[in-house]
Structure 1
């Protein structure tokens, strides 16, 4: 049976936090969940973008359960400050969707000096997940969905040079960050199960979805070759609303299980189904090493101590 927006069960009473909710997959995900009755926190890089998205959603959706949060994932200290606001305002969090991302920019660094794609796509989402874990754990049956990409299948984790200091290649760094997303989701699932926490961790990827990532990449790199390639490939791309279906399935379908990954039926477009995880992500030793290294890089910038404590408790 085809899974679509209509397959989403009622989300009444659920509180959801979506990063990168101002456009593309994040916006479409937020809209679908709002239409099903959820309270949605829009996580966006600036308040201006967040308020603009909030107003558009209010105009298009018959629901007012929308909150906004300014969260700059390129600065771990600002991530920490933003999440403190959620902890004060909300008593529980049913669903976290780690959706925001950057794709193939020229070599750029986060506020803490990390390669931007690794910082935004992986480190900040790991940090915010662990910081919010005590809030998520208050709601039985809660879920964390981490959004990856088909680039995971081409990714390789360079544990000796995660920041690309020995020679930056923007697409290799992007693929590494998307593989890291899946590795994090799997490792989190394992640790949640070991701690007997009733939280599911899943991953999803949109296939070839038409979002602002493509135009932003072309603009930042000034690549006419890339612009032509996207133009030629355009008929293969599906809408961002279709691309959002895998993460919506992972977030809401009662049969979706921790550790699973969902993607388009043909892995680049189509309705969602359970899909193959990149073989490199199945290496448990590498996942453990990546986790430990990531914790060290997050350091004291984000207070993840309570989340780590929850996961270290074997029950």
Structure 2
């Protein structure tokens, strides 16, 4: 695999949005596409899956709970009667299971994967995966890192596949400590979560640099949902329910924040819009918190390609995965 340069590479092409306005309520048809959405059974992932299903795409819900994914599939079909939705058992905290999970897809190609699934803990104590990794870092970052490796042959078989990594505003105030990626020395749940999302975003950008250096046709894009709140989210019982009281209490927040259905918009656009380019960061247009999706400047800490390269090397070691990009 060609080594990454220590200097930032330019994005795959111009960072300008598509020439015609993007309508989040009138998406282009995508009947010929197959998309895997990790964590597609709840939250933002559910709405990514529902919106993609409405385009005619075949959507695979990756979930560690097949029963919850089946429930989400039923709800999607209630809102999109002709939806082509499948369920795939996917446990990102179990690295040894990921290769067989990919084999179970039964597809010859994959047009996109949306790395959305994540664990967020609010309270100590620190927890670990069965592989001995800090739970949030191990699931949110290492699991998606290894999954992408096993998906790469399917992605490379598609004409212009996308790897879409869903980051978080929580990452914006964090920095990675290469000597404490697992938060053994400094464990604070909210900070550990932010670092795990920052690691994901670093991975998404570093992946694109390596794909381009290898001449691959696969592109990697990073997105974030802005401020997405449950009370501002349309009900989708039993996947998501909200009370009238909670909605009314959250109404003032709608001036600056949005629901999870809108938080899905950047990821959906990154999958569908041919004007989106690898190496870009997409988020909501109003202060990065709400509104239609648009490209935005790469956050300062994400421009550190040395940190990204060190994270990549550490991730290969921690997962035991030999991740080589190749021409696709």
Q: Structure 1 length normalisation: TM-score?
A: 0.86
Question: Partner of 1:243 in structure 2?
Answer: 263
Question: Partner of 1:191 in structure 2?
Answer: 210
**Contiguous gaps of at least 5 residues in structure 2:** 1-19, 232-248
2:190 aligned counterpart, secondary structure: helix
Q: How do residues 167-246 of structure 1 correspond to structure 2 at under 5 angstroms? A: 167-211=186-230, 234-235=253-254, 236-246=256-266
Whole-Å separation in 2 of the counterparts to 1:233 and 1:178: 28
| Residue 245 (structure 1) shift | 0.5
| Residue 275 (structure 1) shift | 1.4
Contact 2:155–2:161 at 8 Å: present in 1 too?
A: yes
Whole-Å separation in 2 of the counterparts to 1:232 and 1:112: 43
Question: Partner of 2:118 in structure 1?
Answer: 101
| Residue 234 (structure 1) shift | 4.7
Equivalent of 2:279 in 245, 259, 264 = 259
Contact 1:72–1:79 at 8 Å: present in 2 too?
A: yes
Whole-Å separation in 2 of the counterparts to 1:45 and 1:276: 34
1:92 aligned counterpart, secondary structure: coil
Structure with the higher fraction of residues in helix conformation = 1
Whole-Å separation in 2 of the counterparts to 1:233 and 1:150: 20
Instruction: After superposition, give the CA deviation of every residue in 1:80-113 in whole Å (9 maximum; x if it has no partner).
Output: 3322212xx1110001100111223432211111
Q: How do residues 1-315 of structure 1 correspond to structure 2 at under 5 angstroms? A: 3-86=22-105, 89-106=106-123, 107-211=126-230, 234-235=253-254, 236-265=256-285, 266-299=287-320, 304-305=321-322, 308-309=323-324, 311=325, 313=326
Contact 2:284–2:290 at 8 Å: present in 1 too?
A: yes
Whole-Å separation in 2 of the counterparts to 1:134 and 1:203: 21
**Contiguous gaps of at least 5 residues in structure 1:** 213-229
1:50 aligned counterpart, secondary structure: helix
**What is the total number of aligned residue pairs between the two structures?**
289
| Residue 137 (structure 1) shift | 0.1
Which portions of structure 1, spanning 4 or more consecutive aligned residues, are displaced by more than 3 angstroms?
A: 1-4, 230-237
Question: Partner of 2:4 in structure 1?
Answer: none
| Residue 268 (structure 1) shift | 1.1
Q: Structure 2 length normalisation: TM-score?
A: 0.83
